[in-house]
Amino acid sequence: ANPNWSPYMIANTADVRWLNPGYDARGYETVWNDAGIATNGYFVINKFQEDDRKNRFIGQGSISYEILKGLVLKGVVSQDHYDYNFASVTPTGTLYALTGQYVGIKSDVSETNGLATLTYNRQIKDFGISLLGGVNRRHSELNELDQSGTGFTIPFFYSYNNLASSTTLALSSRQEVNSAFGSADFSYKGLAYVTVTGRNDWYSTLSPSNNRQFYPSINGSLIVSDLFQLPKAVNLIKLKGAYAQVGQGAPDPYAVNLTYSNVPSSGQPLQNVSSNTPGSGIAGITNANLGPVLSTTAEGGIEGQFLDNRLSFDITYYNRLTDRDIVNSTISPTSGYNSVYLNAGR
């Protein structure tokens, strides 16, 4: 219901406050317009109910141990968890839904990360070395219960258990990404820096035969003003460049496997083959051959500072190309489906 119907549609010669409180002695909506959907604004304010509650917990614990000088082993466990409850009541006596309606959502969402790293730092004369290796496991989980219905058997008693007709839909989604990664940082006399990284991810949302992706990166910088003798007016000249790849898995854990779900009908609920949207009926066909998305970026530039940093510039060229992006492509309904996920985006 929209309380703005009243001030929007009422004649400008009438005082909208005349519609207050919006309901009669029975508790039913006061009629003010031929269109039942144009709800009395005061009835919406005084009788409609919409409540939500969210409880959230964010926690992290870590432990580290120096095995040898400069060699440190560290472990980190973190979790972000919340439960969410939502209820919306269209009350008894509403003109467009005389016996009332109910919508409720109960969800439990969490993401847990387990991280272990081994780092080593060493300075050898003019050379600095920093090495890192690690593994990470990210587990995401969603459990949701959607409840809806019409017609409160006992008028004005707003409970899901009091509905004459109701539907309950349970949704469950679990995803995991397992990762192994490493990096090496090198520096020389504080004027040249190079960082090389590598990461391999395994995605639970893709088929086991096609669920891994390796992405490397390299970036470096050179402080030219420290390498050569330049005029005093030049405070800094720095060259920089980088190349990196990143990726991701399928956006939905049901993108590669067919599932069954309930769909509405005039009688009993039907069981229908669906894909990633339970309850949506004939939707998209899944694709077991989906592979990871890969994005490649390259950049290069130069920085300069002059006249005691009163004048400066920073010029950077940046290019990004996303390949094998996962898109939901429309297909002919004669196939029995309306769409399919493909690695077709670029």
pLDDT tens-place string over residues 126-177: 999 999 999 999 999 999 999 999 999 999 999 999 999 999 988 888 999 9
**Euclidean distance between CA atoms 87 and 103, whole angstroms:** 6
pLDDT at position 331 over 90: no
pLDDT at 212: 92
Question: pLDDT digit string (tens) for 188-247?
Answer: 998 999 999 999 999 998 888 889 999 999 999 999 998 888 898 999 999 999 999 998
Segments making up each domain of the chain, as ranges: 1-47, 56-345
Contact 188, 126 (CB under 8 A): yes
Helix (H) / strand (E) containing 46:
helix 41-47
Residue that the structure tokens 């050379």 belong to = 127
Question: pLDDT digit string (tens) for 239-297?
Answer: 999 999 998 888 778 778 777 666 555 555 555 555 444 444 456 778 888 889 999 99
pLDDT at 268: 52
Specify the DSSP class assigned to residue 7: H
pLDDT at 277: 47
If you average pLDDT over every residue of the chain, what do you get? 89
**Any idea how long the chain is?**
346
Longest CA–CA separation in the chain, Å: 91
pLDDT at 9: 81
**Nearest to residue 285, comparing CAs of 338, 239, 210, 326?**
338
Angle, CA of 228, 232 and 234, to the nearest 5°: 70
pLDDT at 267: 52
Please state which of the ranges 45-59, 128-142, 181-195, 319-333 shows the lowest mean pLDDT. 319-333
**Euclidean distance between CA atoms 132 and 123, whole angstroms:** 15
Other C-beta atoms closer than 10 Å to the C-beta of 77 total 15
**Nearest to residue 103, comparing CAs of 116, 91, 87, 115?**
87
Structure-block tokens of residue 174: 């679990």
By the 10 Å C-beta count (0-12 exposed, 13-18 middle, 19+ buried), 161 is classed as exposed
Q: What is the topology classification, in CATH, of domain 56-345? A: Maltoporin; Chain A (2.40.170)
Read off the pLDDT of each residue in 8-36 and give the average, rounded to a whole number.
87
Angle, CA of 163, 168 and 173, to the nearest 5°: 155
pLDDT at 283: 64
pLDDT at 279: 41
Question: pLDDT digit string (tens) for 99-128?
Answer: 999 999 999 999 999 999 999 999 999 999
C-alpha distances in Å from residue 177, one per residue of 52, 129, 203, 217, 301: 31, 29, 5, 20, 34
pLDDT at 281: 45
Angle, CA of 278, 283 and 287, to the nearest 5°: 95
